[in-house]
A and B are shown apart, each in its own frame.
Chain A
Amino acid sequence: MRDTFHPVAWLAWLAAAALPALSTRNPLYLSLLMLAVGVTYVALGRRSPLAKSWGAFVRFGALLWLLTIPFVALTAHYGTIVLFQLPANWPVIGGPITGEALLFGLASGLSLISLLLVFAVFNVAVDQARLLRMTPGFVYQAGVVTAIAVAFVPQMIISWQTISEAQQVRGHRVRGPRDLLPLIMPLLVMALERAIQLAESMEARGFGGQVITGNSTARARGQLVMLLGLGALAAGLAGAGFWPDRPVLLGALLGAGAAALIWSFWDQGRRVSRSRYHRWLWGRLDRVLLVVSMGAAIGWLAVWLGQGEWLFYYPYPPYSPWPAFQPFLGLLILLVALPALLLRPEMTEM
């Protein structure tokens, strides 16, 4: 898969796109975000076989959304816009079905599917192997495990599609749950075989061995500093509940703990020897995307922390069911579509 932008630039884009989806239920912002992310997705196209599987994820999100709306509408019987009444003696769903509940279900589902779309586009745009290389040295092994875990579902979907095609060629038709057995069994076998192959290949590459160089004294020092740092952090956090009138002491504890941990991580990271065979180059477009996305993310974060009411939407009384729209926030969301404008067609070919 060819590079589009630098993974760091894409990470900044991910922050700019995911923040609105995480912080608001306002359907106007969310629908605008979905459209902006959709335009980026169209510009990227299907750039890898793995990317195809995310279409299934998005369809699953849409299905969840469609289920959320009636679920909320049938279970939350509160609001002034009464659409119709169900008999009150019906358990759980009995009572007035309100427009507010319908709106809330709609907005909640929008938030979910927006987030799914954002991550789907991010996975299409960025190769996971490249992301894996970016993990800091001291969490390299955890990064490998995480990358494998993240790739589990897409790979399973690809395997399912492969098995289905093979069985269809043999004349297999799915008419009921029992007909799924010829599909599930090979899927299970394939998953086990892949896990064994993965374990063997990782073992052959020395995964799990001692990657941190240095003598035992240095390692013991690092572990001691980490222990002290964690202890100071725990004491500071617990003390915030017991002695809130001693901010200086608590601040000192938290600061010392954080500093000790950061030093410990840095020390461990610099002693991990890793080989890099490919050097990434920063281009002008990478810098543009990074700066603009960082600006959008910081702007949104500032609004979230400082003007939280701008993101506010809750259709139930006493609040208004009419969502408000701040043009400034709309402009921040428009910036999410920037990759679509920057990407040249030749950059998106497989």
Chain B
Amino acid sequence: MSRRIALLNLLLLLALVTGPSPSNAGAGGVNQAALIVRHVDGSIQTRCLTFTEPSITGEELLRRSGLTVIVNYSSGLGGAVCSINGDGCQYPVQDCFCHCQGIQCEYWAYYHWAQGGWQYSSVGATGYQVSDGMLEGWSWGPGDYGTSGTMPPQIGFSDICISPTATPTPTATASPTATATATPTATPTVSSHVSSQPTAGRADAPPQVTFEAMAETVAAGACTVLKWVSWDAERITLDGEPVMAQDRHEVCPSSTHTYALAAANTSGQTVRELTIQVAVAGQVVPTEALGNLPTPAEIQQVSASTEVAPLPTIETFESPLDASASAIVPLSAQPQSEAPRPRAEALTENVAPLPATVTPMALVTPGPDEASWAPPTPFATPTVSLRRRPAGAGGPSPTPILIALASSGGRTGFQDVISSSTSGLGAGQSAPSRFDAVTPLNRDFSLSLMPGYASYLLMIALLLGGGAWVLRRRNIHRAQRS
């Protein structure tokens, strides 16, 4: 009797566990989820995916985005993302956390957008369910595996998934909605955006820097904390003093002061300036070195309209480290046509009134297959939506990690390893492009494998023959002894 009760309890438990979850209520509808991927160089890819299931796993969402993902399943406890579009570690030739072996730790951190901010995922992507309206982020950067990472940029769900059924805006050059068949079980509609920092680069580009303050306006005598994270930098200075690649520093300016963070490597120098304004009885103390930064009135106006803090000045210089060298302003050189206005320009205007030397961020839309990476091509749009700074290179981790060396690995040698690995695999592999960087390998059986298989069979036969000879010799010896 007790066995029957136990069996009944077991069945009941099984039914509870495997039964339909509340999220299944929406089954049959078309759901949308947004995805943000922040790459090694700080460039951003966004995806809006639709799916018919009530929910899918975070890993499935990433896969359906069409990005080339390498996942390590060897732990048996779900998959760990090693590489996205070639950025990261080429498992299994490299360790899945090849940049997280010592004091430095850079990896693909997984975030969920919740309560107006990014939340570090406490579970893996395989075990996390993504349902309608959710925004997921993957970001490569320094962090502490399991507790913190580099946050993706602050982009809202509505910035990525503009409308579930929206047809492409009839513009001259853009096709913002692309249809792709990512998995056998679903045909998601993927709308893609790629935003990039034009000055971004990897090993052969100037360093990437994020530089921000806890408060950009302080009372006289009060203090604030400057925080920064840099990538690919060999030398970092704050107002001329050497500092760590990722750190925080408390400052107590007596008057408005502009702090300059300079990160340099062999390819150039990136300088970011941040002005801490000191207010005395409701007034701002005159600046020490404001230069051509926007006035407080302009800042207040922008803050009121966009709720986005003014951007620090960004200047990028060619190597050698000479302040007199010409500034590189790739996108600001776009023609300032009247109508239609380039979207990049429109966005810049809506984000912050930047001085002439500021390098703006741009949203570009690649072709439906994103087969190649080309310089960003702004496209016209009749409406300009308010948008937060899309490529802010992610904020630093909530608990900054002391990084002794900014990684100079850049692309982590993925392309080279993949290309060389094809000789062993006998499968074709073309050189990856920038986004969709890794062309899928030929996974079909190749005749080039046949000689190897023939030699394998020959060796098996040799070993079997050797084993038979050993047994025969031993039997003969036993027979002689007996």
Q: Which residues of A contact B (CB under 8 A)?
A: 25, 28, 31-32, 35-36, 38-39, 42-43, 45, 71-72, 75-76, 78, 80, 82, 87-91, 96, 101, 104, 108, 238, 240-245, 307-310, 312-314, 316-322, 324-327, 330-331, 333-334, 337, 340-341, 345-346, 348
Contacts and interface: CB of A to CB of B under 8 A. Distances in A.
B178 interface: no
Given A39-B463, A89-B24, 19 more contacts: A35-B467, A43-B470, A43-B474, A75-B73, A78-B63, A80-B443, A90-B18, A96-B185, A104-B74, A108-B74, A245-B405, A309-B423, A309-B425, A312-B421, A316-B73, A317-B440, A321-B443, A322-B445, A334-B462
Contacts of B460: 31-32, 35
B103 A238 contact: yes
Contacts of B423: 309
Interface stretch (B278-286, B338-346, B449-457): B449-457
B410 interface: no
Contact of A312 (B17, B19, B424, B451): B424
Nearest to B455: A327
Interface in B203-248: 234
Interface string B52-63: 010000010001
A80 B93 CA distance: 21
Contacts of A80: 184, 443
Contacts of B11: none
B466 A337 contact: yes
Nearest to B420: A309
Contacts of A75: 73, 76, 78
Interface string B106-146: 00000000000000000000000000000000000000000
B48 interface: no
Contact of B456 (A28, A72, A89, A345): A28
Contacts of B477: 345-346
Nearest to A307: B424
A241 B92 contact: no
Contacts, number: 157
Q: Closest 7 CB pairs between A and B? A: A241-B103, A325-B452, A345-B477, A309-B421, A242-B404, A327-B455, A76-B73
A340 B466 contact: yes
B102 A241 contact: yes
Interface residues of B, number: 64
Contact of A32 (B93, B451, B463): B463
Interface in B287-313: none
Contacts of B404: 241-244
Contact of A318 (B53, B74, B438, B455): B438
A324 B93 contact: no
A30 to B, nearest CB: 12
Contact of A35 (B91, B424, B463, B473): B463
Nearest to A91: B17
A310 B424 contact: yes
Nearest to B68: A318
Interface in B414-468: 417, 420-421, 423-427, 438, 440-446, 449, 451-453, 455-456, 459-460, 462-464, 466-467
B66 to A, nearest CB: 12
A322 B456 contact: no
B261 interface: no
21 contacts: A36-B463, A43-B474, A80-B184, A89-B20, A89-B21, A90-B18, A242-B103, A243-B404, A245-B234, A309-B425, A312-B424, A313-B92, A318-B68, A320-B443, A321-B443, A325-B455, A327-B452, A334-B459, A334-B462, A341-B466, A345-B473
Nearest to A25: B92
Given A25-B92, A78-B63, A82-B184, A42 B452 contact: no
A209 B63 CA distance: 63
A180 B360 CA distance: 74
B92 A314 contact: yes
Interface in B1-40: 17-21, 24
Nearest to A87: B18
A76 B241 CA distance: 50
A340 B424 contact: no
Contacts of B470: 39, 42-43, 340-341
B63 A334 contact: no
A320 B453 contact: no
Contact of A45 (B19, B405, B453, B474): B474
A35 B464 contact: yes
B371 interface: no
Nearest to A104: B73
B175 interface: no
A243 B441 CA distance: 39
A314 B91 CA distance: 8
B104 interface: yes
B156 interface: no
A185 B445 CA distance: 57
B456 A78 contact: no
Contacts of B79: 76, 78
B352 interface: no
Given A309-B93, A309-B417, A320-B442, A325 B456 contact: yes
B467 A320 contact: no
A331 B456 CA distance: 10
Contact of B76 (A72, A91, A317): A72
Contact of B449 (A35, A36, A238, A324): A324
A334 B471 CA distance: 18
B70 interface: yes
Nearest to A24: B92
B22 to A, nearest CB: 12
Contacts of A71: 76
Contacts of B19: 89
A28 B426 CA distance: 15
Given A75-B78, A89-B24, A317 B443 contact: yes
A312 B59 CA distance: 24
Contacts of B53: 88
A320 B427 contact: yes
Contact of B467 (A38, A108, A238): A38
Contacts of A38: 467
Nearest to B185: A96
A322 B405 contact: no
Contacts of A244: 404-405
A38 B464 CA distance: 10
B452 A340 contact: no
Nearest to B438: A318
B474 A330 contact: no
A249 B427 CA distance: 45
A325 B467 CA distance: 22
Given A312-B93, A318-B70, A345-B477, A241 B104 contact: yes
B252 interface: no
B71 interface: yes
Given A72-B73, A320-B425, A325-B449, A240 B102 contact: yes
A32 B456 contact: yes
Contacts of A327: 451-452, 455, 459
A125 to B, nearest CB: 14
Nearest to B103: A241
Given A32-B456, A80-B443, A314-B92, A324 B426 contact: yes
Contacts of B442: 320
Nearest to B234: A245
